[in-house]
Structure 1
Amino acid sequence: MLVWDRLNTHVSRLMRELIAERTWLTAFLLPAHSPDLNPVEGVWVHVKRSLANLAVVALDRLEALVRNRLKRLHYRPGAVDGFMAGTGLTAGVPTSP
């Protein structure tokens, strides 16, 4: 499943063709500017909250910390489900508008 905003590269003809070639992939396009419907926003809020009050002296250390926090989410599928549920969206088969 792929959930994307409407960045011009995400809705280009080439991208639509690439998605159409992959029958296993379901793509959902969000309405223009809709952070409340984007489950990734919940992920970033969670990661940023875990990094609050840290003073990092080097960019590579910050990158390592962010990667670590994201990797931890791989082992917490309930949290990821919660980010999706927080949007009010469901992971069903999309209907045509």
Structure 2
Amino acid sequence: MLLVWDQAKWHTSKKVRKWLDKHDRIETHLLPAWSPDTNPMEDLWRELFRRVAACLERSLDTLLGCVQ
């Protein structure tokens, strides 16, 4: 299995590396840092953050309405 992910600290932690070493059927590929062209999820996270930050009310229903 090929796992492609960004370089978030939790992806590269010792605990994760140790777990991956025990599961040799999983091959990992880290995306280059700060490379939104190779990681389309970055655009999604940016838009989600923008919408949530624009909500003045902080109730769950209001926040859900902002991101839909």
TM-score where L is the length of structure 1: 0.40
Match of 1:8 in 2: 9
Matched, 1:58 2:65: no
CA distance in 1, matches of 2:35, 2:19: 24
2:37 aligned counterpart, secondary structure: helix
- Output the TM-score relative to the length of structure 2: 0.50
Structure 2 residue runs without a partner (length 5+)? none
Question: Any stretches of 5+ residues in structure 1 without a counterpart?
Answer: 70-97
Q: Deviations over 1:23-81 (max 9, x none)?
A: 3x5532111221221121243366579x5xxx74422221x233xx4xxxxxxxxxxxx
**In percent, how many aligned pairs have the same letter?**
36
- Which structure has the highest strand share of the two? 2
| CA 56–11 in structure 1, closer or farther in 2 if over 3 Å, else same | closer
Instruction: State the number of aligned residues.
Output: 61
Aligned to 1:80: none
